Amino acid sequence: MDISVFSFPVQVLPPVNFTLTVSALAQVLLHWEPNPAQEQNNSTIRYDVKILSPVPEEYDTERTRSVRTAALHNGFSARVRTLLLQEHLQMSSHWVQRNLPPLPGAAETSVTNLSCITHVTISGNVSLRCTWLPGQGAPEDTKYFLFYRYETHTEECSTYTQDKWNRNTECRFSSTQIKPGEIDSLIVIHINGSSKRAAIKPFQQLFNQNAIEKVNIPRNISISLEQNDLLAMWEKPISPFHEECFEYEFYLINLKSGNKQILKISSNSFQLRIDGSSRYSIRIRANHNHICRARGFWSDWSEIIYVGKNSQHSTAGEPMLPNQERVQHP
């Protein structure tokens, strides 16, 4: 933020008693007090806040407290100064800076490659699954423990999967306090650990809940033929979001010619001219579109539906899915 400094009749003094307090997992309370010696003289006092790390950010506020969510394993640094505004003039004090040190632990003992996926269940709850790799410097006796925080709720994992050294490398919550209808809310993941041979450094990561949701499969798919026109209809996946918030991929294979098509569809109905002498296999999958919220992971493909005439040239067995089905991409 560029601030023009003018000749001003009042001295601008920095805030006092600036503190940083960890108030929850990956959450910092910034608090300061107005300088008691500050003269106001019909001026407006605001404060310029600059987050230096881990993610730079700058904003101004009239309040004397601010809460920020950030991964804190490598520390946190911020500064604040007083802004004095009178008519069209603005003047600032010098900065006051405070730092939180990195979380303690030996180098390369933190988990790596943390990845998480959520899923809206039939009952409307949200499940959570996270996987990670042990740090290269983590001893074989390391035990990792995962916590998630969503808004004010914090919970420790109770269901783990282990690697060959019995180190926890996967956690599953069958049900969480994550609200499926929220947009761009953050899920905080915190993983710490213990070992008799080294101090294990904690690791934190923030996830946009919409960006890590694996969408459900479209429901009640109906495929019919009217002469050479293929007609398809389906219902949106189980989700609190409306129909216009989804997009679909329609995977069509001509089992006579072997021709394969993946068509992107923005609605839940579709009509296509096909070869009436051929037999086809069809699968559909869904994802969020960018109109309503962040894109998540594509759903699994639906079960295969066959339409059209039987042919001696039809492919035996289930058709191979495209490569992108094997590895989900957001």
Residue 106 to residue 328: CA distance in whole angstroms: 34
Handedness of CA 55, 60, 62, 64 (dihedral sign): positive
Distance of CA 25 to the CA centre of its chain: 16
| Residue 318 domain-assigned (yes or no) | no
Q: pLDDT value at position 9?
A: 62
Residue 329 to residue 213: CA distance in whole angstroms: 11
Helix (H, G, I), strand (E, B) or coil at 326: helix
| Residue 187 domain-assigned (yes or no) | yes
| Residue 320 domain-assigned (yes or no) | no
Query: Residues with Cβ < 8 Å from 290, sequence gap 6 or more?
Result: none
172: containing domain: 107-211
| Number of compact structural domains in the chain | 3
Please, are residues 204 and 72 in contact by the beta-carbon 8 Å criterion? yes
Q: Are residues 112 and 207 in the same domain?
A: yes
Largest CA distance in the chain: 94
| Residue 216 domain-assigned (yes or no) | no
| Residue 319 domain-assigned (yes or no) | no
Residue 288 to residue 292: CA distance in whole angstroms: 8
H helix runs in the chain, sequence order = 323-326
Give residue-wise pLDDT tens across range 59-83.
999 999 999 999 999 999 999 999 9
Give residue-wise pLDDT tens across range 106-115.
999 999 999 9
* Residue 42 pLDDT exceeds 90: no
Q: For residues 8 and 132, which has the higher predicted lDDT (pLDDT)?
A: 132
Please, are residues 264 and 224 in contact by the beta-carbon 8 Å criterion? no
Residue 265 to residue 287: CA distance in whole angstroms: 11
| Residue 9 domain-assigned (yes or no) | no
Q: Are residues 91 and 111 in the same domain?
A: no
| Residue 327 domain-assigned (yes or no) | no
Given 39, 66, 100, the domain boundary residue is: 100
Q: For residues 260 and 316, which has the higher predicted lDDT (pLDDT)?
A: 260
Given 211, 246, 261, the domain boundary residue is: 211
Given 74, 100, 126, the domain boundary residue is: 100
φ, ψ for residue 125, nearest 5 deg: -80, 170
- Single-letter amino acid, residue 305: I
Q: What CATH number has the domain bearing residue 240?
A: 2.60.40.10
Q: Are residues 39 and 93 in the same domain?
A: yes
| Residue 238 domain-assigned (yes or no) | yes
Give residue-wise pLDDT tens across range 189-207.
999 999 999 999 999 999 9
